[in-house]
Amino acid sequence: MGLHHGHALGPDRGGIDGDIAGADELSVERCERRARALGYHGLEVVNLFALRSTDPAALYAHEDPVGPLNDDAIEAATAGGKTAVICAWGNHGGISGRAARVLRWLRMHGRTVGCLGVNKTGHPVHPLYVPYARALQPVSGDCDFEPWVMP
């Protein structure tokens, strides 16, 4: 989820989500509502993976769920004056070490990385499942652990 302060719409935060297709509209609406409640004037949402599916098992089965341009999209969304990145990918961000690689890249490039809490697997929670009163907190780990495994 990306948030920004300022007088005009235009991101100064970029956000990384792990959305699956079909949940995008509700996720973005809730992220926008949360951004405004926190005093920001907009947001920009990008996904850890280029592949989007209503079935997370597709991420596990696909040869290249990241795709050739997804890193460029994350870099563009989190560059140039963004004050922080809000991670919100839920259980499946750790597939093939993806979350850990993205977190290392963000930190290496001086991005402040936060979340709305972590789930029982240690990954940043998805904003659909968090009360609006929840404050932002730093991402304290590197998410460099085994992801939740599809049954």
- pLDDT tens, the chain, 151 aa long: 333 333 222 333 445 555 444 456 777 788 888 878 777 777 778 888 888 877 888 888 999 999 999 899 888 888 776 656 888 888 888 888 888 888 888 888 888 888 888 888 888 888 887 888 888 888 876 665 444 443 3
> Using an 8 Å Cβ cutoff, are 87 and 98 in contact?
no
Q: Which one-letter DSSP state was computed for residue 120?
A: T
Query: Which amino acid is present at 116?
Result: L
**How far apart, in Å, are the Cα atoms of 128 and each of 6, 43, 111?**
25, 16, 24
| CA nearest neighbour of 14 among 91, 89, 112 | 112
Q: What is the structure's pLDDT at 30?
A: 82
Residue type, 138: P
How much is the pTM?
A: 0.75
Q: Which residues, in sequence order, are CB contacts of 46 under 8 Å at separation 6+?
A: 2, 14, 15, 16, 17, 70, 73, 74, 77, 78
C-alpha span between 141 and 100 (Å, rounded): 9
pLDDT confidence of residue 108: 87
Instruction: Determine the CATH number of domain 13-138.
Output: 3.40.50
What is the pLDDT at residue 142? 65
